[in-house]
Amino acid sequence: MTKTKIDRSDREWRELLTPEEFRVGVKEGTERAFTPGNYESEKRPGLYHCKGCGTALWSSEHKFESGTGWPSYWQPASEGVVATKTDFKMIIPRTECHCATCGLHQGHVFKDGPPPTGERWCINGIVLEFRPTE
């Protein structure tokens, strides 16, 4: 099942998100490493949903300790829920990831993660809502 793409104006995003969520999610910022409540140390089983649209993007089954201060996953929760694009903000190109449904910026993916993918999806916890498995 393909979700309908959501397109919001900055005004609509500001009504939905806090100022910091807007800065990170819409303006493609980054929260500080080890920000309290960013889910970096969350250990319970469950799914991490996009704050912009509720899509399940990340699973605790794919989460690992990267030591970076951000929640890290070796792959998205399911195929097609996360989209990527090239980011040139740091001069050296990086792969940015965002919610494929609403476009909310999630973080970046790097090629220094664990098996089986070798990828580290380094995600801003502020744009997530964790829903533990009951």
Residues labelled as active-site residues = 122
Query: What is the 8-class DSSP label of residue 69?
Result: S
Give the separation between CA 63 and CA 46, rounded to whole angstroms: 10
Tokens of 101: 């449904």
Q: Which residue has the tokens 């800065």?
A: 23
Give the separation between CA 128 and CA 97, rounded to whole angstroms: 13
Tokens of 6: 């959501």
CA 68 to chain CA centroid, Å, is 15
Buried b or exposed e, range 13-39, using 16+ CB within 10 angstroms: beebbeeebbbbbbebeebeeebeebb
